Amino acid sequence: MIICKSQREIEFLLKAGTIAAQAQEKMAEIIAPGITTAEIDRLAEEFITRNGARPAFKGYRGFPASVCTSVNDEVVHGIPGNRILKEGDIISLDVGTIIDGFYGDCARTVPVGNISKEAQRLIEVTMQSLKEGIARAREGGRLTDISHAIQSYVEENGYSVVRDYVGHGIGRSMHEAPQIPNFGPPNRGPRLKKGMTLAIEPMVNCGTYKVKTLEDGWTVVTKDGKLSAHFEDSIVIDGDTAQILTEP
């Protein structure tokens, strides 16, 4: 069942989402060659707790950290550790928060120093694909209008959309109904209603859309070893537009 939120509930979700987005800004400020992914995770956790929230990912289904740090061909769920970022890397940062029983969730892909034109274009296309999806998140539309907009934009630009991982509803749980694929035909699935809160998150690859999970049981990588990028925002359906809940 898809839960439409009250205005008061939306205010709590906005509070959680704002802290998640601000944590993203803090992480982006320190991303540079020579830093470890563990240092990034530590900074984010400290920021989140200092602002009265809790990291949503830490301990979730056994995940050991507060942030997913996915580098280069890592698509999602990368575990922070001793890995040192290098000039030219790209890193996807996925962070969640809980405050007053409500969740915030957002992801960004950022450059490490100077990156290749290919990597920069991948980041830009993935970011814009998220915007294309959000633009279709309108009351009275259908869920897969979002999916189709994302896939169309990505493939028009010569990239592929990961199919094994999808967006989701968000609220008092990090993952609520519905699942939101980033691919598929338009005009299918449930009607979008005012008060629905969704986390939309395209994951876009330079090569094949196929992925595999590493032996750690978490880190998902592209099957062909090519670059991947990930952007995510949590939103609420609000008439003809969507309000983004994960802005700083």
Each domain of the chain, given as residue ranges in start order, spans 7-244
- Give 215's contacts (C-beta < 8 A, 6+ positions apart): none
Average pLDDT over residues 65-86: 98
What average pLDDT does range 108-131 have in this prediction? Answer: 98
Instruction: For 87-103, write each residue's pLDDT tens digit.
Output: 999 999 999 999 999 99
Q: What is the pLDDT of residue 247?
A: 97
Q: pLDDT-based confidence at 180, cuts 50/70/90?
A: very high
Q: Rounded mean pLDDT of 61-80?
A: 98
pLDDT at 206: 98
Going by pLDDT thresholds of 50, 70 and 90, the confidence category of residue 178 is very high
Pairwise CA distance, residues 243 & 33, whole Å:
35
Q: What is the pLDDT of residue 159?
A: 98
For residue 13, the SS3 value is: helix
Architecture of the domain whose range is 7-244 = Alpha-Beta Complex (3.90)
Average confidence (pLDDT) over 52-71: 97
What is the pLDDT at residue 182? 98
State percent of the chain over pLDDT 90: 99
**b/e string for 212-248 if b means 16 or more Cβ within 10 A?**
eeeeeebbbbbeeebbbbbbbbbbbbeeeebbbbbee
- Do 151 and 161 form a contact (C-beta atoms < 8 A)? yes
Please tell me the distance from the alpha carbon of residue 32 to that of residue 188, in angstroms, as a whole number: 43
> The tokens 């400290």 sit on which residue?
46
Angle 91-36-206 (CA atoms, 0-180°, nearest 5)?
A: 20
What pLDDT, on the 0 to 100 scale, is given for residue 238? 95
Tokens representing 213 are 């999970």
Average pLDDT, the chain: 98
Identify the pLDDT of residue 36. Answer: 98
Q: Mean pLDDT, to the nearest integer, of 180-194?
A: 97
**CA 154 distance to own-chain centroid:** 16
Across 63-82, average pLDDT: 98
So what's the pLDDT on residue 169?
A: 98
Helix (H, G, I), strand (E, B), or coil: what is residue 161?
strand
Helix H segments across the chain? Answer: 7-30, 37-50, 117-135, 143-156
pTM of the model: 0.97
**Residue 196 pLDDT level (bands cut at 50, 70, 90):** very high
User: Cβ distance 65 to 109 under 8 Å?
Assistant: no
Average pLDDT over residues 38-47: 98
- Which bin fits 177, alpha (ψ -120 to 50), beta or left (φ > 0)? beta
Q: What is the pLDDT of residue 148?
A: 98
Q: Which of 90, 89, 94 is nearest to 79 (CA)?
A: 94
